[in-house]
Structure 1
């Protein structure tokens, strides 16, 4: 089941980043070997009590004239409305209520999405409460007083946010159909692939405010299997500055990936793999999704007998953090190998949900340990007691050892390779947790 998405919206200097950092705080895990992950900190995974959600910061606004601020606020609110399950609207008790707040509140109210109103910079609840009550005038419910800098009131705020999370997501639970997200830079041919799969020119909704994310799910039936394709191509804003567009598309990518089982990362054959591709693939890798690298427009390349091998090597070099990803070379234009995508998707889904018996796993690990001694430090050697698989999507394993400190990253990687040699697990990342057990 996908995690709910919470987006933060607010005027300049009301403390959006402070709140973002207070909530994501130390819990933001930056995966070291994934390129470009959360350098710009657009999103973070947050857990509150037993709930997990993805927090999105919809962007900074340059303080200029009132009009510019207002149009950027609208833009932000639109991103939040398009992508979020819950919108966190942040205001500032010291600046008080301003015109822009009313206009954004108006948009948010019309969106029919749940909105939680937070009033920031309330360091002294007694003193500022009368000013907080003023925010009732926005007409979007009860204002929650918080201090992001002092980390006060955040618990109540999160309780309130979590109350709006979809309960057991009606319809989602029974929906066992695999969800496939098609992601990639603009113009790599994401919609052409969907159209080719559907065998018809579907109308792509563009430049229409309020194109919700639900409108871009496409049901596809093939043989007796059904799939849901999540397409991120729907919205392309004209006249957007490149950075803003990039930020917007990353937010859209995160929300699509969050809801998917398998992610098709589409790459333009002629352009080769770019840093932006690596960033997008990194999001899917971080989230432990099934991944297929789809090189589109393959028909447009001049080829000889080495082309594919050289291309594959280059892909593997740049995306070295995900050696397990499957690759497909297709052309949405001519339809070359598009049908084969389904076989690849089915394989990856099977691998994502593969469960391995504990006995078999331990045999493999015992053999691996015999072939390559575990690391030791100051005369103390790592002992691996046993390994067991605890969950799927992605397959997740717990390894019990005598001393966690001795379990080097490289040795975990070695064991992963041995497990992959035995079971393949193509197209899916594997997660390993190391637990310590004192010797009896």
Structure 2
């Protein structure tokens, strides 16, 4: 496993900006007001051929100032305990704070190597601001500008000299799972239940999660990346800028995942917004599993699992292929069965079908149900092939692709599902124009060898 480097500091000192610069990504949300980051954000980084995992944390503050300060401080303590090294970010413009002294005391009680970076120092002419920080007992403060890159290389040179080196082994393919849903549906609680620890900050207050938080876990010797996301509300209800960014990141997480776990609050019932979120996942071609969470709170006399599934299927006909199950993140009910469903969906999601088998299925489908005429001309289907996986995507060449009715296209997709067993994954069928090819079911005439001679 890669060495872990945790980035800590009080709120608004530039930890997330530093994290984004070193990981060369924009996975951590950044804004000018304190408290944007609440959960730990993980990112891969490389410096001088040394690989490590960088961890962004929430700002260390007093419990009286922030409702989430207590859980955030617990996250920071855990980040320090799991790290091989720690980088403490200090505010070169704001100067020394009492919270800095509290953090220093916490770090001195651990045996981890600590590097102290004084941020917001934009050049050599501003390095006289460092003198104030010697009062904390720091031997070597590193002047840096996380925003502009000043001093970052010196800090990272020192960092890689104190952490163990890591050499990558050929890794098994990791399944990426995005956990999405409305605010307060129980997404973070579900991930914490899976991990068996309070890895993510959980609260009854909607909007607790802001970043898309990646967490690696192993189940039955298989690796999974769980992506916790902010709750997705209707556009008309989103007013704060930070919530808009959080929702954008939640939707982007669907672009980089294999499977979307769509968490629905069963106690609230199935809402239009739940179906909209499922639609976002379907549009992006994700494998989908529908999770009816908080099943322990549902009154069972008039609300059986069967009736819930029927309502769900009626509301989301476009996801008829997606498995659905009832769970409780709070009690752990059926949570352990989620990964067997994930594995089954992923196997189909990454399946490749042979060209011969595919063309046989479509040829038989055309015989059973011929397409309608187009302007008095017969539609001709020539050839089909699979062009990609995740999801399985097929291209079929037709003389008039724009004339194929969507109902007939859906018929062909259903025939592919039935013939290949791809019953739990989205599939795509693309129609392309092609002329001069042999149709399905037609044999090419043998050429007379005498006529082919010159």
- What is the Cα deviation at residue 322 of structure 1? 2.2
- What is the Cα deviation at residue 261 of structure 1? 1.0
| Alpha-carbon distance in 2 for matches of 1:203, 1:437 | 52
Instruction: Give the corresponding residue for 1:267.
Output: 264
Q: What SS does the aligned partner of 2:351 have?
A: coil
- What is the Cα deviation at residue 406 of structure 1? 2.1
- Per-residue Cα deviation, 1:1-55 (whole angstroms, up to 9, x for no partner): xxxxxxxxxxxxxxxxxxxxxxxxxxxxxxxxxxxxxxxxxxxxxxxxxxxxxx9
**1:6-405 pair list within 5 angstroms:** 74=32, 176-204=173-201, 216-233=213-230, 242-244=238-240, 247-304=244-301, 307-405=304-402
Aligned pair count reads: 285
Q: What SS does the aligned partner of 1:348 have?
A: helix
**CA 1:302 to 1:362, structure 2 compared with 1: closer, same or farther past 3 Å?**
same
| Alpha-carbon distance in 1 for matches of 2:185, 2:210 | 22
| Alpha-carbon distance in 2 for matches of 1:312, 1:280 | 17
Higher relative contact order (CA 8 A, sep 6+): 1
| Alpha-carbon distance in 1 for matches of 2:402, 2:223 | 46
**CA 1:172 to 1:227, structure 2 compared with 1: closer, same or farther past 3 Å?**
farther
**CA 1:223 to 1:73, structure 2 compared with 1: closer, same or farther past 3 Å?**
closer
- What is the Cα deviation at residue 358 of structure 1? 0.8
| Alpha-carbon distance in 2 for matches of 1:302, 1:423 | 40
- Per-residue Cα deviation, 1:251-301 (whole angstroms, up to 9, x for no partner): 131122122111101000021222222222222111111111111011211
**CA 1:197 to 1:180, structure 2 compared with 1: closer, same or farther past 3 Å?**
same
**CA 1:182 to 1:171, structure 2 compared with 1: closer, same or farther past 3 Å?**
farther
* TM-score, with structure 1 as normaliser: 0.57
Instruction: Give the corresponding residue for 2:13.
Output: none
**What stretches of structure 2 of length at least 5 have no aligned partner?**
1-25, 45-92, 94-118, 121-146, 150-166, 438-454
CA RMSD of aligned residues (A): 3.9
- What is the Cα deviation at residue 421 of structure 1? 1.5
Moved over 3 A (4+): 72-75, 82-85, 170-175, 211-214, 241-249
- Per-residue Cα deviation, 1:388-412 (whole angstroms, up to 9, x for no partner): 1110001100001121122121111
Instruction: Give the corresponding residue for 1:423.
Output: 420
Report if aligned partners of 1:384, 1:399 keep a CA contact under 8 Å in 2. Answer: yes
| Alpha-carbon distance in 1 for matches of 2:418, 2:188 | 36
**CA 1:367 to 1:228, structure 2 compared with 1: closer, same or farther past 3 Å?**
same
| Alpha-carbon distance in 2 for matches of 1:290, 1:190 | 17
- What is the Cα deviation at residue 316 of structure 1? 1.6
| Alpha-carbon distance in 1 for matches of 2:299, 2:321 | 27
Report if aligned partners of 1:285, 1:322 keep a CA contact under 8 Å in 2. Answer: yes
* TM-score, with structure 2 as normaliser: 0.55
| Alpha-carbon distance in 2 for matches of 1:386, 1:255 | 35
Q: What SS does the aligned partner of 2:317 have?
A: coil
| Alpha-carbon distance in 1 for matches of 2:289, 2:177 | 10
Deviates more, 1:424-433 or 1:182-191: 424-433
Report if aligned partners of 1:83, 1:213 keep a CA contact under 8 Å in 2. Answer: no
Q: What SS does the aligned partner of 2:183 have?
A: coil
Report if aligned partners of 1:185, 1:277 keep a CA contact under 8 Å in 2. Answer: yes
- What is the Cα deviation at residue 413 of structure 1? 0.6
